[in-house]
Amino acid sequence: MMNKNLNLICVFLLSLMSPLAFSAGDNTRVYLPAFYESVMKMAPNGKLGQIIKKESISTSVQGAQAWRIAFISSDFADKKTISTGILVAPIGPAPKGGRPVVAWAHGTTGTAQNCGPSQLPNPAQPLNEYFLIGGNSGTDYGMPALERFIKDGYVIVAADYQGLGGGGKHQYMISGTQARDAINSIRAAGDMKEVGAGKKALIYGWSQGGGTVLAAASSPEYIAQKGTAFDGIELVGFVALAPPDVSATIAVPPQDQASADKYLGGLIQAFSGDVMGFAHLSMTFWALPNGFSNLQLEDVFTPEGAKAINQIYTGKCVHTAVDTITYNFGSTYKSLMNSPPKNSLAWAKAIYESGVKKVKPVAPVTIYWGTKDTAVPPFMGKLYQEQMCKLGANVARTQLQGEQTHYTTPPVAELLFAPWVEDRFAGKQAPNGCVGIQ
């Protein structure tokens, strides 16, 4: 009896020490550290980029100091949101004019509130990938070239994106929303006076974050917006690693039901060949109604599929979600979807609108890609380059040596993009990446 009582006491004490629970709906509960639990209760009131909560965290990077932060952002429709993230800066006084700011846009981690990379126990470190042998977590976290950028004297900031710890439903693959999170993370760095951030900034990102980079590059009005927590930021370049841009694959959105059915059917077929591709596709379909009110999950999923998909993506991060789909549905996961989908014209237009706007980037863009990338078809980046070059932009595209996959792209590309970043902050002119592009 005494042992039983001791066990109950231990369970009670452990519960007091554990992260707090947050209900994501449909009886799904996720567990968040106390920092995020408190942020979830806050209203998104304030200037864009304004920091509304911060806490100091440890980092193993020499000469660096780090914080978890929560700041005001907005989605692509200008609705105010809260994003969380981390900020890492050199220790010591900043030079005159302030430190350059590098904003990291992370790849897909999932859509639940507990999927923000900053929630990891030690997030302020170089990029740590789940799929690679050195990965030590169930998700990707950290920032490429972090140690080098700290030595260079840069401030590095990394948003988790809206819906990944700051409340609201994540608008996965609505690139304009994630682009605004990245831009506002730079403003948040400027709002933290103790890190000495300057006005010059650059955004780099991978996978979902690569699309974020491209969308941010084509957001001149949002970048120039006044009345923020840190006006006057100057973007000097953009680095996109294996970026998706579905909207680049079509010149204009479908205008009739037949063309919409064909487009949506082709998209579903292209990304449903394996369960990982299906997970990314179904996450996108789960998230689009969070930004477009004329869409419903039941348009593309069966009633049973919509219920299962909603529970999975409000409660689990991407790799766990893939395991759940595999365990419960095996090779029949396609049966979760309606065939053909309903309301396809509205969905096709939303997919187009969620992509990168066909607007000339405000600064040079460089893209890195691998020949063995099956997660993001490299032809998307090729089409993007061709379209932007026609608008007079400077967009370079570099094929990585060897048979690089989606997941080896960041570490292999780092030796190439780090000097490119340093040259942009040094004021050097970027080589014209559009030479020979028709």
Q: What is the CATH number of the domain that holds 136?
A: 3.40.50.1820
Do 340 and 378 lie in one domain? The reply is no
What pLDDT is recorded for position 287?
98
What pLDDT is recorded for position 438?
67
Do 126 and 89 lie in one domain? The reply is yes
What pLDDT is recorded for position 11?
35
Domain range enclosing 271: 252-353
CA-based end-to-end distance of the chain: 80
Of the pLDDT bands very low, low, confident and very high (cuts 50, 70, 90), residue 437 is: confident
Do 43 and 146 lie in one domain? The reply is yes
Do 332 and 382 lie in one domain? The reply is no
What pLDDT is recorded for position 28?
64
What pLDDT is recorded for position 253?
84
Do 276 and 376 lie in one domain? The reply is no
Q: What is the mean pLDDT of residues 331-348?
A: 95
Q: What is the maximal distance between C-alpha atoms in the chain?
A: 81
Do 71 and 198 lie in one domain? The reply is yes
Q: Which of residues 353, 384, 409 is at a domain's end?
A: 353
What pLDDT is recorded for position 19?
45
Q: Does residue 105 form part of some domain?
A: yes
Q: Does residue 16 form part of some domain?
A: no
Of the pLDDT bands very low, low, confident and very high (cuts 50, 70, 90), residue 13 is: very low
Assigned token pair, 50: 């304004």
What pLDDT is recorded for position 246?
87
What pLDDT is recorded for position 252?
83
Q: Per-residue pLDDT tens for 256-306?
A: 999 999 999 999 998 899 999 999 999 999 999 999 999 999 999 999 999
Q: Does residue 349 form part of some domain?
A: yes
CA angle, residues 328, 299, 303, in degrees to nearest 5: 40
Q: Does residue 438 form part of some domain?
A: no
Q: Which of residues 353, 383, 412 is at a domain's end?
A: 353
Q: How many domains does the chain have?
A: 2
Do 287 and 241 lie in one domain? The reply is no
Q: Does residue 404 form part of some domain?
A: yes
Q: Does residue 436 form part of some domain?
A: no
Burial code (b: 16+ CB inside 10 Å, e: under 16) for 133-159 equals eeeebebbbbbbbbbbbbebbbbbbbb
Q: What is the mean pLDDT of residues 238-249?
A: 94
Do 149 and 104 lie in one domain? The reply is yes
Q: Does residue 344 form part of some domain?
A: yes
pTM surpassing 0.75? yes
Do 45 and 158 lie in one domain? The reply is yes
Q: Answer for the pair 57, 123: CB distance below 8 angstroms, yes or no.
A: yes
Q: Which of residues 353, 379, 413 is at a domain's end?
A: 353
Do 233 and 308 lie in one domain? The reply is no
What pLDDT is recorded for position 306?
98
pLDDT at 23 over 60: no
Q: What is the mean pLDDT of residues 245-250?
A: 88
Q: What is the mean pLDDT of residues 249-258?
A: 87
Q: Per-residue pLDDT tens for 134-154?
A: 999 999 999 999 999 999 999
Of the pLDDT bands very low, low, confident and very high (cuts 50, 70, 90), residue 4 is: very low
- How far from the centroid of its chain's Cα atoms is residue 366's Cα? 18
Burial of 269 (0-12, 13-18, 19+ CB in 10 A): exposed
Do 74 and 169 lie in one domain? The reply is yes
Measure Cα distances from 325 to 70, 274, 278, 307, 319 in Å: 32, 11, 9, 13, 10
pLDDT at 382 over 50: yes
SS3 readout for the chain: CHHHHHHHHHHHHHHHHCCEEEEEECCEEEEECHHHHHHHCCCCCCCCCCEEEEEEECCCCCCEEEEEEEEEEECCCCCEEEEEEEEEEECCCCCCCCEEEEEEECCCCECCHHHCHHHCCCCCCCCECCCCCCCCCCCCECCCCHHHHHHCCCEEEEECCCCCCCCCCCCCCCHHHHHHHHHHHHHHHHHCHHHCEEEEEEEEEECHHHHHHHHHHCCHHHHCCCCCCCCCCEEEEEEEECCCCHHHHCCCCCCCHHHHHHHHHHHHHHCCCCHHHHHHHHHHHHHHHHCCCCCCHHHHECHHHHHHHHHHHHHCEHHHHHHHHHHHHHHHHHHHECCCCCCHHHHHHHHHHHCCCCCCCCCCEEEEECCCCCCCCCHHHHHHHHHHHHCCCCEEEEECCCCCCCCCHHHHHHHHHHHHHHHHHCCCCCCCCCCCCC
Q: Does residue 17 form part of some domain?
A: no
Do 233 and 262 lie in one domain? The reply is no
